[in-house]
Chains A and B, each alone.
Chain A
Amino acid sequence: MSKISKKDVEHVAKLAKLKITDSEINKFSKQLSEIISYVKELDKADTSNTDPTSQTIGLENVSRQDNKNLENVLSQDEALSGTETDHNGYFVVDAVFQPTNE
């Protein structure tokens, strides 16, 4: 059985910015291993001469008229209406850099 180790779970959780507890790590390691083992059956399908498919509609480079349409534009108030932390018309986010004492 393909194994997704606890270390793998911690790694992907970190990549996906998910905080998970130790008991969740155990649970997800087991569940994800089962799923990955199942989907591994695809190895049996011969795809040596097959191209991958990423979409099925077959459209490319779709564009539209560059008309100014105010219906497509949110006002500043509307754009900010979903946040609880705005300041002077901006979204407030956590600082990326930490201040130093220098």
Chain B
Amino acid sequence: MEIPLTIKETQEGLIKKKFSAVQLVDAYLARIEKFDKDINSFLTLSEEMAYLQAKEVDKKIEELGEAAFDKNPLLGVVVAHKDLFLTKGLRTTAASKVLENFVPVYSATVVKRLEDAGAITLGKTNCDAWAHGASGENSDFGSTKNPWQKEYVPGGSSSGSAAAISAQFSLIATGTDTGGSIRQPANFCGIVGFKPTYGVVPRYGVIAMASSLDSVGHFGMTVDDVEKVFEVTKGEDERDSTVKNIRSNKSNSKIKIGIPKEYFIKGLDSEVEKSVKEAADIFKSQGIELVNISLPHTKYAISVYYIVQPAEVSSNLGRYDGIRYGKNRDSFGDEAKRRIMLGTYVLSAGYYDAYYLKAQKVRSKIIEDFEDAFNKVDAIIAPVSPTPAFKLGEKAEDPLQMYLADVLTAAANVAGIPGLAIPSGFSSKGLPLGFQLMGARFSEPTLFKLGKLYQRTVGWKPKIAFQ
């Protein structure tokens, strides 16, 4: 059977009996079996659970027909979870040896919400250990490869989730974005990646990296699919006191998009720059006004990020003592050790004011920049990464160079605003290109509206990396 590329195609196929949910699971697992030994996108498969859920889907459709989709908007949608999301009874490792044998006794809110909406859980995806990285190479279980060209990285930290979508191992996948960990791998793999506003999607049951920056998002082939998943994952959760319901966001009838000059930095790949400008012109052709804007503190975002984030990492990883679950602290890999020590240093007596407090103040400056910009424009268009995917091993030995890969994504996390990474084409080497839209806090409806407008205007057809 031909595997459908969108939620709509999947659900139409199910209702018209072109295929059953069980056959869908067969087809995805067959592709994984055949190709994933070269990609390494999955750490654990949940075949048994997937077939149970698929049978349930087929039963519901048999009994209720089309009405089955009303209560279960994601009925029959196959999902893979980044291995940071706790899944009851299914091993969850954070791609770290510390949790190599950890089987959670409860599921993350997002996992539960997706299952309640009718999604089928296929397995757990590889990532940089504890989500520390921009290439997938920090996984304790081996690097994930970019499905488009296997000598290139898929991006990170949500490396396996992004690779799994572009290799058609799953229809949707979850991820976390602390400094770009959804948008950048989506960009490197040629798919749609969505980072919501900080505090809009519950983080209960998701292994914490940096708590003032972490947001829970996901990947799909189209903006439409990503929006459908967000409708299910968002909203208050009594188990997470940092979640706020999205306010109704009336988008202006005359939308303006800002082009921030600070994002077109020295060292920006010329093909990346050209693709972002072309995407901006697509919006212009649809009557959207483009406005040149300035976000003067952008250059400091990466430094703010690499103080605040390791500080919070050192605190969150303090809980891994090997007593209640997991192995002891000797099992941490190099990158986790580096961040724990960096964080401990910037928080330690005598250095707190110079580093952490200073970073929190500059963070306010970055937020002010965005607030000023969003008084003038409804969204901002920018590159996601200075270059397309880089080669495996290229930055692995130089932590600072790897950290700088987050230079165009970290500001959105520092400010807590949403970002949507959208593919736009390919470089001359055949690597995916794309752009990101950022909006004010809670402006998801505007971002989705613009994303759909773009994909409709260019007649976007989802592309998988190989047949």
Say whether B338 faces chain A, with CB atoms less than 8 Å apart: yes
Chain B interface residue count, Cβ-Cβ cutoff 8 angstroms = 54
Residues of B within 8 A of A58 (CB): 244
Q: Is B364 an interface residue (CB 8 A)?
A: yes
Taken residue by residue from 355 to 379, chain B's Cβ proximity to chain A (1 for < 8 Å, 0 otherwise) reads as: 1011111111101000000000000
What residues of chain A lie closer than 8 Å to B361, measured between beta carbons? 45, 47, 50-53
Nearest CB of B to A90, in Å: 11
Count CB-based A-B contacts (< 8 Å): 143
Least CB distance from A91 to B in Å reads: 6
- Looking at chain A's contact residues, is the secondary structure mostly helix, strand, loop, or mixed? loop
Contacts of B164 in A (CB 8 A): none
A55 at the interface (CB under 8 A from B): yes
Q: Which residues of A contact B330 (CB under 8 A)?
A: 19
Contact (Cβ within 8 A) A35 B400: yes
Q: Does A87 contact B (CB under 8 A)?
A: no
> Which residue in A8, A32, A57 is a CB contact (below 8 Å) of B199?
A57
Say yes or no: is B149 at the interface (Cβ < 8 Å to chain A): no
A81, CB-defined interface residue at 8 Å: yes
* B399 and A47 within 8 A (CB): no
CB within 8 Å of B: which of A13-52?
A: 13, 15-20, 24, 28, 31-32, 34-36, 38-43, 45, 47, 50-52
Q: Is B51 an interface residue (CB 8 A)?
A: no
Query: For the complex, is B348 an interface residue (Cβ under 8 Å from A)?
Result: yes
Residue A56 at the chain B interface, CB threshold 8 Å: yes
Partner of B364, one of A11, A43, A52, A81: A52
Could you say which of B239, B344, B357 has the most chain A C-beta atoms within 10 Å of its C-beta?
B344
Q: Smallest CB–CB gap between B441 and chain A, Å?
A: 7
Nearest CB of B to A89, in Å: 13
Q: Given A39-B306, A82-B325, are A53 and B367 neighbors across the interface (CB < 8 Å)?
A: yes
Q: B341 contacts A16, CB within 8 Å?
A: yes
Let me know if A88 is at the binding interface, CB within 8 A.
no
Q: Is the CB of B360 within 8 A of A53?
A: yes
Interchain Cβ contacts under 8 Å between A and B, 27 examples: A4-B345, A12-B344, A17-B321, A18-B329, A18-B332, A32-B345, A36-B342, A36-B355, A38-B303, A39-B359, A41-B299, A41-B303, A45-B300, A50-B361, A50-B365, A52-B364, A53-B361, A53-B363, A53-B367, A54-B360, A55-B242, A57-B199, A57-B416, A59-B244, A74-B105, A82-B325, A83-B323
